[in-house]
Amino acid sequence: MLTLTNVTAVIAGVQVLRGVSASIDAGTTVAVVGRNGAGKTTLLRAVMGLLPLRSGDMRLDGDPLASAPPHLRSRLGIGYAPEDRILFPTFSVEDNLRFPCEVIGLKRAQVDKRLDETIDIVPELAELLPRSAAGLSGGQGKMAALGRALMVATKLVLLDEPFQGLAPVLAQRYAQALQRLQNKRPTLAVVVTESNAALLKNISTIRFTLERGALAMT
């Protein structure tokens, strides 16, 4: 489904990704574990097209991905929840969730259906929908960012350090949402980056370690 072959990336003259190769099948959940600075965020940004590749190849369902502009990758079925959430503060939570679907041209009925499905997976969002995104706590923002990613993720969802900064109760709820996601969307591929592997203990994953920009299965 998603195939990376010898992917390298450079930031400010420093090689951050070093020959990363991996194959992620539909319906699998992959955990990329590594210390801060190992290149986890860079890897997800590269998949989203937010960082150009120095070399290597990326393919989604066999089709070249590197040639697709970043703003069109959500149309290919890729959802992305960045570590810092990046919600529109003047929008309500519901508007933030609907917005990417509207950008890629989905009809209102389709967006309504996806919203219902997303709330089914992340029920905590139901009471947050009318609230301003500017008034969310950090944990609530993480939940909203997950929901927004799921609104467009029909093939692949990328979750960057989703547990970072979450209180234990919210971390448990987030893990439960990922478990529901695995059950309700069995064909969706999920990539989760995390510094602390113990936070993923209750989630069935294929585990990779990213160290100094090099990826290895563990």
pLDDT tens digits, the chain, 218 residues: what are they? Answer: 999 999 999 999 999 999 999 999 999 999 999 998 899 999 999 999 999 999 999 999 999 998 888 888 999 999 999 988 789 999 999 999 999 999 999 999 999 999 999 999 999 999 999 999 999 999 999 999 999 999 999 999 999 999 988 888 999 999 999 999 999 999 999 999 999 888 888 788 899 999 989 998 87
Domain ranges of the chain: 2-217
**Cβ pair 99, 133 in contact under 8 A:** no
| pTM assigned to the model | 0.95
pLDDT value of residue 70 = 85
Q: What is the dihedral of CA 194, 196, 201, 204, to 10 degrees?
A: 20
- Does the domain at 2-217 match CATH 3.90.76.10? Answer given as no
Which residue carries 């009925």 as its tokens? Answer: 109
pLDDT of residue 66: 84
Per-residue pLDDT at 39: 95
Rg (CA), the chain: 16
**Residue pointed to by tokens 């709820």:** 173
Euclidean distance between CA atoms 3 and 19, whole angstroms: 13
Identify the residue whose tokens are 């998603």: 2
Q: Is 158 helix (H, G, I), strand (E, B) or coil?
A: strand
Distant-in-sequence, close-in-space partners of 172: CB < 8 Å, separation ≥ 6: none
